[in-house]
């Protein structure tokens, strides 16, 4: 009887091991902005909180001002929508943007300031999301400006790139150092098309990959990585882990970390 019991335990253990998954890496969306010390995306405190949480990457939006400066800020509007006067990052000068605080009172940062902070905690990569611009010429200008700043600060190995427009991906693939990690965001092309852009990965909305789960395997067969955003619910995070994605971008990186610890090797 004892032998039968031990045999059953061994079988159970085998199934437990086979049910475990490879751990994806965690990216904090806009930094760990839900941490008590932060409260706003794309802020220095959100980046610091992501570094403190020891996640793989801290995503931030980079944008080009009217006078050609690169700021860490979302496209289309200043994050403080209650601010007066209101300001569109791409139609305003850097000087104007720096006079309007984030909702939590922090000043908008330049890319250089974010890179300086990233250099202090290199274990957490800076994931630069190049925001859509009004014209291809402006997108090229943003790409060249970002790459120049990253190169000047010697941070080529500490950053990765995201882009929502194919043109930006083409420009990054052409002008970034060989081996740079570039992921396409929009979710409207299959992995083969994304590889043809010169990208190293896809970074698609959860709803897209939930409908097109086969793209995960296709991407891996092509040597592309798979990131999923923005995943905050317990059941959605579990789905991502079960389906073998490489990265999970979340507003709640600590929940992702908890579920990875529970489910993965």
Residue 127: give the domain boundaries.
Answer: 24-263
8 assigned to some structural domain: no
Per-residue model confidence as pLDDT tens digits over 31-73: 999 987 778 999 999 999 999 999 999 999 999 999 999 999 9
* Domain CATH number, residue 51: 3.20.20.190
186 assigned to some structural domain: yes
Residue 16 has pLDDT above 70, yes or no: no
Overall average pLDDT of the 139-154 stretch:
98
1 assigned to some structural domain: no
- The pTM (predicted TM-score) of the whole model is 0.91
226 assigned to some structural domain: yes
204 assigned to some structural domain: yes
Which DSSP string corresponds to the chain?
Answer: -HHHHHHHHHHHHHHHHHT-BPPPEEEETTSSTTSTT--STTSHHHHHHHHHTT-SEEEEEEEE-TTS-EEE--SSS-S-TT-SS---GGGS-HHHHTTS--TTSPPPEEHHHHHHHHHHSTTSEEEEEEPP-SSHHHHHHHHHHHHHHHHHTT-GGGEEEEESSHHHHHHHHHHSPTT--EEE-S--S-HHHHHHTT-SEEEEEHHHHHH-THHHHHHHHTT-EEEEE---SHHHHHHHHHTT-SEEEES-HHHHHHHHHHHB-
- How many independent structural domains does the chain possess? 1
19 assigned to some structural domain: no
17 assigned to some structural domain: no
Per-residue model confidence as pLDDT tens digits over 66-95: 999 999 998 655 555 565 556 788 989 999
Per-residue model confidence as pLDDT tens digits over 191-248: 999 999 999 999 999 999 999 999 999 999 999 999 999 999 999 999 999 999 999 9
Of 70-84, 130-144, 156-170, 207-221, the one with minimum mean pLDDT is 70-84
153 assigned to some structural domain: yes
């Amino acid at each position: 009887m004892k032998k039968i019991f031990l045999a059953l335990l061994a079988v159970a253990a085998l199934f437990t091991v086979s049910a475990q998954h490879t751990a994806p890496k965690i990216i904090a969306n806009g930094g760990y902005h839900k941490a008590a010390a932060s409260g706003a995306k794309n802020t220095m405190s959100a980046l610091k909180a992501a570094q403190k949480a020891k996640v793989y990457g801290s995503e931030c939006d980079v944008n080009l001002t009217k006078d050609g400066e690169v700021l860490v800020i979302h496209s289309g509007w200043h994050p403080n929508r209650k601010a007066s006067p209101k300001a569109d990052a791409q139609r305003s000068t850097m000087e104007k943007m720096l006079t309007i605080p984030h909702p939590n009172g922090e000043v908008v940062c330049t890319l250089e300031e974010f890179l300086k902070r990233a250099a202090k905690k290199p274990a957490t990569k800076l994931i630069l999301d190049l925001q859509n611009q009004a014209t291809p010429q402006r997108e090229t200008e943003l790409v060249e400006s970002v790459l120049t700043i990253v190169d000047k600060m010697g941070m080529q190995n500490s950053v990765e790139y995201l882009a929502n427009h194919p043109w930006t991906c083409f420009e990054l693939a052409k002008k970034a150092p060989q081996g740079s990690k570039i992921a396409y965001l929009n979710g409207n092309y299959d992995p083969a098309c994304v590889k043809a852009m010169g990208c190293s990965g896809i970074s698609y909305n959860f709803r897209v990959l939930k409908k097109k789960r086969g793209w995960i395997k296709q991407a891996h067969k092509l040597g592309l990585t798979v990131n999923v955003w923005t995943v905050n619910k317990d059941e959605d995070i579990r789905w991502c882990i079960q389906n073998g994605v490489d990265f999970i971008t979340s507003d709640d990186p600590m929940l992702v970390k908890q579920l990875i610890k529970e489910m993965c090797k």
